[in-house]
Each structure stands twice: as C-alpha cells, then as structure tokens.
Amino acid sequence: MQKQVSIEPKQFAAYVSAAQEAGAEVVPLSSAVRALIWTDYARPDLLDRVLDENPQLLWVQLPFAGVDAFQESLQRQITFTSAKAAYREPVAEHALALALSLARIIPERVRATSWGRKFAVSLFDANVVIVGGGGITETLIELLAPFRANITVLRNRPSEMAGAKQTLLIDSLDEVLPLADFVFVATALTDLTRGMFDLRRFSLMKPSAFFINVARGAIVDTDDLVAALNEELIAGAGVDVTYPEPLPDGHPLWSAKNIIITPHTADTNEMVTRLFAVRVGINVKAFFDGGQLIGLVDPDLGY
C-alpha cells in the first residue's frame, strides 16, 4: 500500500506537516488513496458524498471527539477514528474552572458594586459525579485529586477508573444524583444520553448542587435547565455547550439564575489544531505501519 493520505476538505498546514512527518505523502483524493483525514465537522453530508464517490477508502480520521453528526457515515464498512481524548486537557481544565467559578459565585462578584453577601462552596471533600468515562474524565479526576473529592464515575462499561471512589454503570444515575455536590457531564451524545438531564433528574439533585456540561448541549433539555435554575432546584450551572448552539440572543437560558455560559470554547481553534495534528501524526503512522489506531469509533455505541 502506498503511503498516501488525503486531507479534506481543507488542508490545514499543521495536519499536512503531521502526516508528512509520519512518513506519508499528502495527495489529492483519488482512487489510489486509502486514508482520509476529514477536517470539517459541520458538513457530514459532504463526507457522505465523498465516501460514496470513493469506495476504496479503508480509514477515515474524524476531527472531533464527538461523532454524533456522522452517524450515517459510521454505518459503512470503513474504519473510523475520532479525536476522542485528544482535547482532554483543555476541556477538563475548563470544566474545573466553571465549577470553581460557580462555587465561589464569581459571576455575581465580578458585577458587584457593593460588599455583598458572604458565600462559598468548597470542592475539598465534595461528592462529585462525572457522567462519562473517557479521556476528559480521566484528566478531570487527576485535576480533582488535590481536592480529595469523592468521585463517582458513570459509564457504559463496568471497568474501574483510577482515582474514582466508585465506577458505576450509567443506569445508576438516579441513585447517585441526590448525593452529588457537583455533577459534571463529559459523555458522548448518543440515543442513550440525548435529553438525559431533564426536569425529573434536576429535581433529584440537591438544591445546593452545581451542574457542569462540557460534552454536548443536546444531552440536556434546555427548557428544563432554565426551569431548574429559576425554581432553584439546583444552585447553579456552567455550560460550554448548549442546545440549540449557538444559543440565540434573548434565549431564556441567558437570563436564568446563576448560569455561566461559555461559547463552546473549552478548546479553542488554536488548541484543537495543535492537538489534532498530534493525533493525525500518530494515526497516520499507525495506519501505514500496521500499528494500533487511537480513538477507534464503535458504530454501535456511537462514539
């Protein structure tokens, strides 16, 4: 097999360099090319068209950790890899920043013009629930280690996660929510997780608990989150993702009580470009040298 790879639809210089340093030649897509680096998350329809026109492709590298936009493509007999775990560090860092900001009412204090109330919640020895068992969760557990947090991880597989007090299957969510001081969402968007956090689940949480979502907006029922905040079913929420996204101006979530909304910037374009280039280099080398691809997508699980 010739060591040729195509990067479509945009040939970012960093990705071209990474592929070349891995020993591959970057060429225009043709019937001779077996490997494709896909760089556009917003056009799954275009990827489908490319795959229809290029049945010779054996491997496609997708650009983000979440692959929910590509569900139709994933049904093909092609090996797909995603960027899962590639952006784990900045996203986990952002999740921690949101949690600490909520716990110390930073949004309220930065706008204050008077001394105000005394309020703080500590992460030290707090009960933390993390939904999802991937790379973001692994890094978030490491970041939480100095706080001695009691961490419960919910995931699809029963295998334990280092640093967690307990690892449970995701169907135990209702049992652990009432005990949580902080709930982090770091799971893929699938049929199982879509709309997972609704008014019923927010009602299970303590009124003093904080909710942080750095995964996908559609995992949360947005109207129910607004209601949970305004009715003080939970103490506050920090979200880097919303549904719909971008969140329209004037949407009720903007004015909900004790909400922090960041515009999907847990990982910026600069961070993504740098980290995805690393993943491209590793996987291009693995594909052509017969090594182990990182971030293999399971089409049945949807991630």
What's residue 199's pLDDT?
98
- Integer CA distances (angstroms), 76 to 12, 44, 60, 63, 272, in order: 26, 14, 11, 18, 27
For the beta carbon of residue 290, count every other beta carbon within 10 angstroms: 7
Task: Inform me whether the pLDDT recorded for 302 exceeds 90.
Answer: no
- How many Å apart are CA 302 and CA 132, to the nearest integer? 13
Q: Is residue 276 very low, low, confident or very high in pLDDT (cuts 50, 70, 90)?
A: very high
Share of the chain above pLDDT 70, in %: 100
Angstrom CA distances, 257 to 70, 102, 184, 225, 226, stand at: 35, 11, 19, 10, 8
The CATH number of domain 88-261 is 3.40.1790.10: no
- What pLDDT is recorded for position 212? 99
2-37 pLDDT, tens digit per residue, is 899 999 999 899 999 999 999 999 999 999 999 999
pLDDT at residue 178 is higher than 90? yes
pLDDT at 1 over 90: no
Does the pLDDT at position 158 exceed 90?
Answer: no
Token pair for 89: 């560090």
| Whether residue 271 has pLDDT greater than 90 | yes
Counting residues of the chain whose pLDDT is more than 90, the rounded percentage is 93
Catalytic residue annotation: 216, 245, 264
Superfamily of domain 4-86+268-289: NAD(P)-binding Rossmann-like Domain (3.40.50.720)
Residue 62 clears pLDDT 90, i.e. is over it: yes
Residue ranges of the chain assigned to CATH 3.40.50.720: 4-86+268-289, 88-261
| Mean pLDDT score, 247-268 | 97
